A and B are shown apart, each in its own frame.
Chain A
């Protein structure tokens, strides 16, 4: 077993385990922390595929900024394990079963997928490098990039309007 394969399995198990812990944790703060762990594992996958830029951005934006925001809100509300009301047991079971069924169906569908058996380039390839991505971003994708700034502006305005006290 090469190091790459080993790392792949390790990161996969880490990601899946932390993801499950996100869902099952009673305490929201724990959930956030497990989610951060998941994001780290996913970033690890990115780096394993030599998608350096995405990997780093994922860490900074998701695991850093966004999750801090989550933590901030949770702590603001002073939530703990008991604050969440109990949900109907059967509904919970139904949720898990339907989620599982979806997984089953999609994995089964994979059997006849046409991309089956194609290889993913690991550790190598330069499309994930920041220079190449930047070039593409500022030439071919410059319009969506600029529009993204408008999106941010409107999100900002929206947040302020919603969060304003009193109405």
Chain B
């Protein structure tokens, strides 16, 4: 499979995530769109990792490209931590405003 296919697929997922962030006002949906964007990047990382494995493998580097997948692993780790904190913040917000509308957050300004 050529790499462009994966790149285009990832970009499409990523941009769908962005469009979601821009169009929705529900904080949880926005959060989910961010997860979607993260996954798009993960997919791309794995694809590149496999691509490099082929390219470098020809030069007898056995474990070439493995760091790409390890990065994906770490992104997942960070994402898990992020989700826990993020959801806690959303719950907190809901408790205070009885809403998850991000535009409510403009009162942070005052």
Contacts and interface: CB of A to CB of B under 8 A. Distances in A.
Interface residues of B, number: 75
A166 B73 CA distance: 36
Interface residues of A, number: 83
B63 A127 contact: yes
Given A51-B46, A152-B77, A155-B82, 14 more contacts: A8-B5, A20-B16, A23-B33, A39-B39, A58-B76, A85-B101, A94-B22, A99-B22, A125-B50, A125-B54, A128-B46, A133-B66, A136-B66, A159-B84
Given A4-B1, A16-B13, A155 B23 contact: no
Interface of A is mostly: helix
A52 B45 CA distance: 14
B12 A76 contact: no
Given A121-B53, A163-B92, A87 B24 contact: yes
A17 B48 CA distance: 23
B23 A65 contact: no
B69 A127 contact: yes
Interface string B26-65: 1011011101100100110011111101110100000111
Contacts of B36: 19, 22, 35, 38
Given A23-B24, A119-B2, A45 B74 contact: no
A23 B20 CA distance: 5
5 contacts: A16-B13, A87-B25, A132-B63, A136-B70, A152-B77
Given A61-B76, A132-B63, A163-B92, A79 B7 contact: no
Interface of B is mostly: helix
Contacts of A61: 76, 80
A54 B94 CA distance: 34
B66 A151 contact: no
Interface string A99-128: 110110011001001011111111001011
A54 B92 CA distance: 32
Given A69-B84, A127-B66, A95 B22 contact: yes
B81 A127 contact: no
Given A158-B88, A163-B91, A16 B35 contact: no
Contact of B26 (A28, A113, A154): A28
A35 B49 CA distance: 24
A124 B53 CA distance: 11
B74 to A, nearest CB: 6
